[in-house]
Chains A and B, each alone.
Chain A
Amino acid sequence: MPKSVLRRERVLSLLPEPLSDRALEELLSISKADLESHDPETLTISVTPDRLDLLSEGGLGLYLQGATGAAKGLVRERVADEVPAALSVEADGSVRPIRPSIAAVLVTAPDGSVLDAGLLEEAVRFQELLHATVGRGRRAASLGIYPYDRLVPPFRYALEPVANVRFVPLDGSEEVGAPQFFREHPLAQRYGAFGRVGDACLTLRDAQGTILSLPPLLNSRTGGEARVGDRRLLLESTGVRDRTVREMLGSLLVVFLSRGWHVAPVARTSDGTVVADGRDVFLPRRLDLLSEALRSLAGTSYTAAEVERRLARCRFGAHPHPGGWTVEASPWRPDLLTGVDVAEDVILAEAVDPRDGIVPPSRTRGRRRPEARFRQQVATELLGLGLAAPYTSLLVPSDAVARIRGASPIRIANPPSSEFAYVRDRLLLSHLELLAHNTRHGYPQAVGEVGPVVARAPEHETGGETRYHAGVVIARETAGFADAASIVDYLLRSVDIVAVREPADLPGTIAGRAARVRVAGEPVAELGEVHPEVLTGIGVPVPVAWAELDLSRLYPLLGRRDTD
């Protein structure tokens, strides 16, 4: 769950009255934000991935305005009175192969106001959060915040030879060449691949050639540093898709528009031609909410007034039409794809009481899978034999695999640790681990389990096949092949099957003391005495007999007359 630490004062400053901690917790408990902890200065908030806007002080403040009734309806964008004529951003064709999308807006502080330290901190923190989430670690898109009044439009986004680029990095004091920057700077080492192709790198410059930034890495200090006291800021996003770029920029706008800042479009041009006027970044999106769709999702018939009240509370604009409403949504709500997304907001705008649930009468007949019943039956037989019944993981440690020569389970490419490094292809791997963990308890020890394994199966759609095995290990001074064989015989007899044992070389067993069991030619079980090398490796001081039935293979054979 995305999480952030917000300044309490900045959130509550958007409300007309103070809000107690209890009231805050209650309001958030019916939202997609969770108050994880708080102190007099901060609120630690986590949110579901679709409501990142609630991780900005401005976004959370707007939600609380709606929830407390302090303000309702859509946050109307205030378009700046004057839009500079040359305000545009040109995406050079050279960027198309690696990072073709760019969008920008101009935001202006309301009269008598400027960028303050709190707003700058909030914007930068939220920018980084968006980088990590929507921007997929800057790979999909990134954001830039620039001091418009110290720049000269139009702006140009291009791919330039690295050797020709020099700038003062935002966190530096001296001009450096791009080659050095890419070689040494931590951000370049981490994200450099997204802003460079071969000997060229992405740049964003103003009309005078001043470098604003090297997208998506770092702003220039001389041309790209927003500072306290600035009145106008250029917000820009570059990325691999237009839609992601617009989402990033639209989301960042919540920080400024919640504080009354004005917005102005920045046109996008290509080869000197305007391809978009830039209003799509901040204009409300329109979605259709149909009354019938809302009713059929909610299971409740809301009155029109109730729907509109809830829409207003959720900070939507609503325009009724014969079948429902045209709903206007702010640009920081990219989670809203269609009418069902708006319906969710309406339905969940107020607390859902479990007592309102309807228990639907069943018009179907329930049943377990016959194969699952069969597995359950075998597990009961194992219990009847007095075998302890563990529940072991499908994933096994690399040590467990290493000690069985010839075993070839599927290896996990990105294991979280060596404890979960392979997908077992036989229960033996797990059961030897279990014996290794239990040496302190003395002997005899006997274990039986029915559980899944995954075998390689190139012909299958997924490249593997899930099978269920019944596995047994018996560790005691007199354990031997006959113990394993008698259990296999017993289990097969319990399902009226007589099988044939044949010698086999099986990983982890003593040569000459292992067998494969076939039914109607199908191999359905393996068994044997575990090799002393394996036992000494896991510290088990007594012999171990092992048997494993492939229940997935056995099940289709049940009831066949030709199995003798």
Chain B
Amino acid sequence: MRIVIGEGSCGIAAGAGKVHTALTEALRGTDASIGIAGCIGMCFLEPVVDIYDGKTLLKRLVKVSADDAGAIAKAVKNNDLSAVSYLEISEEDSVFLKKQTRIALRRCGLIDPESIDSYLEDGGYNALKKVLSGMSPEDVIEEIKTSGLAGRGGAGFPTWFKWNAARKSEGEEKYLICNADEGDPGAFMDRAVIESDPHALIEGMLIAAYAIGASKAFVYVRAEYPLAIIRLQKAINEATERGLLGDSILGTDFTCRLKIKAGAGAFVCGEETALIESLEGKRGMPRLKPPFPAEKGYENKPSNINNVETFANVSWIIENGGEAFSAMGTENSKGTKVFALTGKIKRGGLVEIPMGLTLREVIYDIGGGIRDNKEFKAVQLGGPSGGCIPKELLDTVIDYKALSATGAIMGSGGMVVMDEGTCMVNMARFFLDFTTKESCGKCVHCRIGTKRMFESLTRITEGNGKEGDIELLTELCEGIRSGALCGLGQTAPNPVLTTIKYFRNEYEAHIKEKKCPAGECAALRQFVIDPEKCKGCTLCSKKCPVGAISGSVKEAHIIDTSKCIKCGQCKEVCRFGAVEIR
């Protein structure tokens, strides 16, 4: 038997490394082998351990801890896996994977990301072989055109068009760049692809480099992704050793060298011209377009930039044909899209679905709905460039146009679900805090406008909002949208505009009634003890740092609101749920 432990970053954070050590120890002396895989995407069930017989999956164990190693080893030794059935994934949770259609993630969590043989055994590099043994660069671009593949980084620009522009651009030396600077806080699919299936990225990039005529390629990875960098470097080394990367690839005259460049942390570097500046070692400040990177990119040479997920789809398209890809999806959005489903969701993780499913299907059918039996309030798509979509629009289909029509965007794939306890004004403030810090400072509208918006939103959440604030915010939004050079600035107002559009009543409650309907804004909430529920255990009054709670043993306690500093410690310690926020 073969025991495979899911060791992506989040699996490791959940304790997969400790499980691995414990299993190695417990299985010593048996003929079972231990291996690793990347991330299967079921973050809510990490650490995940799969038991295989050859290629057949016998059992998938979830939420495994190091303490379970003994039981697993015993079951493996006795050849009786029913003994560990208590760890097996439930029918209900299995739905999470069954309802997905995986292309970009097709090998994630199934192969060993640190072994090129594991990738080759699964048909890896067949697409590259097919391309180099008979397709012209134009054929490749045509196939991608047929597929309808569009940029998965967020903008959704047709991939073939960019490739074609870079191919036709004058110049001997051309560059191919992969944008793996996944900066949207709440999105992690690019990291998962690199950590779990790095060769899929390399293969996709090689095919693209062949199509545009580039012999040098870079992957610009966030420095916060150390494991992704390690695994990608290992994959590059192995591919080079096997003649799949470097000079005369597969014996042809196609040559391509691939280098990793670790980013240094700046959200704006997700914008392609800022990324190029950063690659050149400068401050990542966007350039004026045109000229587009296809004409003058890295070192002023023709360059093409695509996102990780875009490249991860390429080898599948070449192998299965563009038509198979375009058969999935909607009129104007083809294929699949990966989302990082997080927030107040029951089953959070990586989800790849065909375009055209509704938000409701993703959140409820795959994600299992809202945690702790609370009410769904909104879903945030596209991070700081995106917007919040309310309950009424849950049946919106996942499609570039349909999502843009709501005021949000498809984005790179962050999908953060919020419940009734999330304040939408504070949510807008959170994103503006982010964009204010991440604005590169080049354009006045973005640099100062986001700061002013952040200040107004802060005032509102602190109970100091005044009449006219909503209008002021709207005016600032329009100014920034039209006055900023790059995508970061132009889209920075989206979180504010969508929350004003769909949750105007929350803004008004903060401004006029000095109330936070969600009970999240500390300055506006009041802690009270429900005398019916309070058992008089005195725990809260002992915990209160300012002595604001009074009451005798076994009698209902009272909070003196004039003393209360709203720290919430009483609510946290109360075992009877008697402390309420109003």
Q: Do A and B bind each other?
A: no
List residues of chain A with CB under 8 Å of any chain B CB: none
